[in-house]
Amino acid sequence: MTGSMIAFAAFSTIAIVGSLLVIFRRTPVASAFALVLVFFSFSGLYALMGAHLIAALQILVYTGAIMVLFVFVIMLLNQDSPITDIKESSLLFKGIAGLACVGMVTVLINAALRVSGLAPTNIYTDQKIEELGGNLRVISELLFTDHLFQFELTSFLLLGAIVATIALSKRQRKGGVS
């Protein structure tokens, strides 16, 4: 058992337990904090695979931005108390959903196993990345050369999202709908 293996076991356990908490906690706030837990553990998993940039961005984007948004919204909508007045899904529905999900995961894992047998491309082996100056450098270079166009497009996407969000959450001046 190496250290990284222990770390992997810990992170993955936290991730799975966290996500279970997300879906089974009654209060949205609790779910949200469980989600933060999951995000952190994912970040750890990225780091374990050497994807340091992603790991950092995971913390920054998800925990720093998205989660904050969630919490704000929860506060805004006063959803911090446990939800009791909702009729939950029926047991039958839950059963079907569960079975289907298990089936899905099985199928997907099976598919992934088939893919794992394929020969690696050997373009960016670990030592090659080291030679080129590390993961961050390689990704940045690719991003600003070959994929510059897509990168710029994402800025448009973000702009659109900003406009859309403002339009959606803006209070109508004259009454609005009902």
Partner 1 sequence: MNGEIQPMMMVVVALIVFGIGLFGLLIRKNLLIMLMCIELMLNSVNLCFVAFSKMHQSVLGDLTVLFVMTVAAAESAVGLGLVIAMFRTLKSVDTDQIQILRD
Partner 2 sequence: MNLSYLILLPLFGFLINGVLYLRSTRNSKKVSAELSGGIATVAMLLSFAAALYNFFLLRQLPAEGQLFDQMLFPWFKLAGMSVDFTLRLDPLSSVFCLVITGVGSLIHLYSIGYMHHDAAPAKYFAYLNLFCFMMLNLVLGATMPHVFFGWEGVGLASYLLIGYWYHDPEKVGAGMKAFVMNRIGDIGFLVAMFIAYKFVGSLDFIQIANTPLNPEMTTTLGLLVFFACTGKSAQIPLFTWLPDAMAGPTPVSALIHAATMVTSGIYLLARMHTTIEASATTLSVIAAVGACTAFISAVIACAQTDIKKILAYSTVSQLGFMFVACGVGFTIAGVFHVMTHAFFKALMFLGAGSVIHALHEEQDVFKMGGLRKKLPITFWTFVAGWAAILGLPPFSGFFSKDEILIQSLQSPHGSMPLFLVMMAAAFLTAFYMTRLLVLVFLSPSRMGQGVEKSVHESPLVMTLPLMVLGVASVVGGWFGLPIHEAHVEEAAGSSGRFIMLASVALALVAAFIAYKKYGKTTKVEQVNDIAREGFKIDAFYLSFFGNGTKNVARWMGNLIEQQVIQRMIRWTVAIVDLSGNLLKVAQVGSSQAYLMMMFLAIFAVLAWFLFGVGQYAKF
Stretch 79-138 residues interacting with partner 2 (CB under 8 A): 89, 93, 96-97, 100, 103-104, 107-108, 110-111, 114-115, 118
Q: To which H or E segment does residue 47 belong?
A: helix 28-48
**Encoded tokens for 6:** 């222990």
Site for partner 1 in 120-159 (CB under 8 A): 120-126, 129, 135, 138-139, 142-143, 147, 150, 154, 157-158
Q: How many CB atoms lie within 10 A of CB 151?
A: 12
3-state secondary structure of 129: helix
CA distance 135 to 52: 7
Give which of partner 2, partner 1, none residue 114 binds (C-beta under 5 to 8 Å, depending on kind): partner 2
Q: Least separation, in Å, of the C-beta of 173 and partner 1?
A: 13
Report whether 20 contacts 35 (CB < 8 A).
no
Please tell me the count of residues contacting partner 1 according to CB under 8 A. 92
CA atoms within 13 A on the CB side of 175: 2
**13 sits near partner 2 (criterion: CB under 8 A):** no
Interface residues toward partner 2, by CB under 8 A? 89, 93, 96-97, 100, 103-104, 107-108, 110-111, 114-115, 118
